[in-house]
Structure 1
Amino acid sequence: MSAIRLFGLPTDINSSFERGAAAGPAAIRAELRSERGNLASELGPEIGTDIAFCDDGDLPLVEDTPRDDAMIRRHVALVHGNGEIPIALGGDHAVSFPLIAATAERFGPLNILHIDAHPDLYDDFGGNPRSHASPFARICEAGHAARLVQVGIRTMNSHCRAQAARFGVEVVPMAAFVPETVPVLDGPLYISIDLDGLDPSAAPGVAHPEPGGLTVRELIAVLHRQRAPIVGADIVEYNPSRDVGGVTAIVGAKLVRELAALIDRNGAAGH
């Protein structure tokens, strides 16, 4: 049985189009605890009852990227040092770099399942190498990814195709997508979910909506097929100002429950 630690990363300083994702963690957390639902997962267990679960709240980030990166890395190291597994709520996708760097520092290069409409492989987007469009370029450059599988991508330009080839990224095509086309990865496994990987009909509350994405059912099927020990996860890019009826927050809260149950089912990776 794995203990889960949830924490929020309220920053969108590295967003390239519009800000707003800093408000995401609080909104997902509120929906997670809303009386309109419950804490059960589709795998069966309930977080906080069958699954040991602690919410640390939001880290006091200051929107200074080097300082925030250091704070995030320290917190991940603390969580792993306690024998627990972190689930982080963004914030923009730039936060995945320090999250994964700190996790790889403990476990070595990771197998990463990345859900997104965008590959986030830009070498330098808009003059910012730490842009939310660039975290997986930084992750690969640093040697933190033993294997990177990207699912939901439907915005590949020539630069990102070249970057994917350079880093050996495996992109699962969205055309004729079925969950069975996604590899079942070995551990240690890290899962990063950008909510714009979902179709905008399911998750409108994102800054960069892209038609033709995953359904919630397809994403859950992809997650449930994974059997390896999971050493960390994040859910990022929720922008409440873009949401409709709070439906994206509801999806985010559901994904917290499903990730926690999956982590618990798959077991520890040997802290």
Structure 2
Amino acid sequence: MTTDPIALLGIPLDANSSFMFGCAAGPAAIRAALHSTSGNEATERSVEVIPLLRDVGDVGITNVTGSEADADVITAAVRDQLVAHRQIISLGGDHSVTYPILRAMRERYDDLTVVHVDAHPDMYDDLDGNRLSHASPFARALEESCMTSLVQLGIRTANRHQVEQSERWGVTMITPRELDEFDAAKLTGPMYLSIDLDGLDPSCAPGVSHHEPGGLTVREVLDVIDALPGPLVGADVVELNPSRDVVDMTAMVAAKLVKEIAGAMVERR
């Protein structure tokens, strides 16, 4: 097992959100939870991962709705870490950050498998005229062939348009009722994990803008992380809205996920 650092990159963007803003404060809240003395530095497999995280700070963005310039800055920041041969965990911010991240990943990996935990498919062609909306990142990424396969877990809001989008690109969409059908052993190639915190049930993660009951438990998401065969080359944890959180519960869940993702990255290099 090597001990090369894993880049931790904050992306305080929420201008592409719908319904409400607040996710720009997510990276700072996750960092505070990561370094809280209420826990320690070890994963459930006793890998001490906090010293292996190289916090490279926040991307310098304008946080303007539909900004191509902000998307380009995010892509460049991720590219810099990949050029340095680092695995990367990004902290959102709203889910629009995933599209520019995956553009950078495409430059390095031509056979990327993406596993996406979410209540929503995020494959709208656009939302309210914004093609860079947090409801559209996977539509953009699929259009640009940023991945060879996309598996979505926890989806429970797919309307007809998004079902048609899924069929168009051959996306595997698994609802919470069907989670036992997810077979990670069938996944191949380098992997990227995108976790929208509203994929969890609001009872586990109230600090999100879009409460969607009937979601996954923290343990089910941890089991997904454990099951990924790897190598896990990148990940993001997005949509934490601290203004909606309760006693920092969702921030602590996000920090837990970051630690376990980092552990999986280290163990499956």
TM-score (norm 1): 0.94
SS at match of 1:84: coil
Give the deviation of 1:183 after TM superposition: 3.1
**Equivalent AA in structure 2 for residue 259 of structure 1:** I
% identity of equivalent residues: 49
State the 4+ residue runs in structure 1 displaced beyond 4 angstroms.
Answer: none
Rounded Cα–Cα distance in structure 2 between residues aligned with 1:149 and 1:183: 10
* Kept after mapping to 2: 8 A contact 1:91/1:237: yes
Query: Which residue of the partner structure matches residue 163 of structure 2?
Result: 161
* Kept after mapping to 1: 8 A contact 2:27/2:91: yes
Query: Which residue of the partner structure matches residue 119 of structure 1?
Result: 121
Count of equivalent residues:
264
**Equivalent AA in structure 1 for residue 60 of structure 2:** P
- In the alignment, structure 1 residue 143 sits paired with structure 2 residue 126: no
* Kept after mapping to 2: 8 A contact 1:151/1:182: no
Rounded Cα–Cα distance in structure 1 between residues aligned with 2:100 and 2:179: 31
Give the deviation of 1:181 after TM superposition: 2.4
Rounded Cα–Cα distance in structure 1 between residues aligned with 2:59 and 2:135: 22
**Equivalent AA in structure 2 for residue 35 of structure 1:** T
Query: Which residue of the partner structure matches residue 77 of structure 1?
Result: 79
TM-score (norm 2): 0.95
Query: Which residue of the partner structure matches residue 246 of structure 2?
Result: 244
1:1-271 matches, cutoff 5 A = 1=2, 2-49=4-51, 52-64=52-64, 65-178=67-180, 181-184=182-185, 185-267=187-269
Report the RMSD for the aligned CA atoms in angstroms.
1.2
Query: Structure 1: where are the runs of 5+ without partners?
Result: none
Query: Structure 2: where are the runs of 5+ without partners?
Result: none
Deviations 1:235-270 (A, max 9, x none): 000000111111000000001100000001110xxx
Deviations 1:167-213 (A, max 9, x none): 110011322533x6243321210100000000000000001110010
Higher mean alpha-carbon deviation, 200-209 vs 2-11, is at 2-11
**Equivalent AA in structure 1 for residue 81 of structure 2:** V
* Kept after mapping to 1: 8 A contact 2:184/2:229: no
